Structure 1
Amino acid sequence: MNEVTGSEPRSNRFRTTIATFIEARREAKLKGKDDDAGTASKYEYATWLADAARRVGQIQAVTHVLKATHPDARGSSLHIDPVMLPQHRDIGSHLLGEDYAEDVVGNAAALDVFKFLKLDVDGKRLIDWMQAGDADLMAALSPDSTLAKTWMEAFASLVRKDAEPTTHPMAKQVYWLVGEDPWTTANTTCCNRCSPVRWPMPCMQTSRTRASARATSRRGRLSGTSSPPMCRTAIIAT
């Protein structure tokens, strides 16, 4: 259904917002070189959308970025709405509620697609309308309903989960004091930024063992031998 506000169909607002964004990208790329027909053609409305729908698979929207903690970490970054996290008395991401910002991981060359999907129309981002399967946005994408649906599903996949999330020894751990004595293992909790799905994260048990654990970790990476001791507890995506 194409809702109308005043004399303007709602789908027109979507199309105008999208077209304005694409035109701004074209102007920035050409920088006044209007005779570059080959480059200009890439910024035609349908052409750019088709390319963006292809490239969106190269990036992923996340709330917990694994590589932000260590550049050599190999594992899953997570997208978890803070309101869906367990509520507890300690400080954590759950306290953000709906006031949080997303980041993306993947190919930096596709970051323009992320900017595109953050465009605001009627108080919501395009990615939100995409995920809701909005009929007016679908009509604005293309007169071909099958093609428009395909693009919408591709754009909506910006937020997705790994089939089997994994963690990595290089993922950063934070130690949270939950008792009175910081030197006692029972009074510390290891908080992992990514879920240890199939095994506990190798990490230090208490602050007293940090130096020796780092040394053990370095020796292990060089020799291919053991990792630091296993942590006692893991809090997922805090």
Structure 2
Amino acid sequence: MSTKKKHVVFDIVGTCVSFDAYYDCIDQVLGARLRQHCITPKHFGFTWQTLAELEFTFLSISERHKPYQSVLRSMFYRSLWFAGITDPRSFATEEECERCVQGYSSLQLRPGCFESFQILRDAGFTVWCFTTGDIQRVRGYFERAGVHMPLENFISCDSTGVVKPHPASYRSVLDKLGVDDEKWFAAAHMWDVSAAVKAGFQGAYCTIYEKEPCLEMAGVDMRVIADTLPKMAQGIVGA
């Protein structure tokens, strides 16, 4: 009897969870003022999170790993500056910054996330979640939605101090799984899933967030591409 197991490792924020609540919070706190400068809350939110992700990654590479949310908080005024606000500290208070940061903690699961997990579990897959964030925070996204996800199936880059997309971060997950097991990585970030494929996973990509796969940049074979999470799960099962 075969002891080979099947695993799917999901990225969480951006894949299982959308950024809509974060953008909506920025709109509620700063939206009217941002629009006076022809800046949409969503565009500012994307600029802010992208700048924070860049800083977060560079800090990790230089062996100064910090929790992502603390980096996000630190990048607030710098992001306003790059968005075109010439006097950021007069534009928004630290209390308003904190309210927007808390909006990032209020993200919600995407439609079809629970369904995709169930499709995979029914087909014998173990579902894992791999995040650059704090496990308690990201687990809260599932708990608030009433979706069961065992604590032991969450893996955070915080535990090793090596963040995605460094190959060592994915290899640390691969090492937790059986050598001969079937191992998939599923994400809505092409940079994430393509790096996981390079490290040794089979790749499944959902276009729900980025829309354009930009496969010419990825440089790897993507086994499954779908426009919803359930379709991606079905593609993995049928591969």
TM-score by length of 1: 0.26
Higher helix share: 2
What TM-score does the superposition give when structure 2 sets the normalisation length?
Answer: 0.26
Name which one, 1 or 2, has greater alpha-carbon Rg. 1
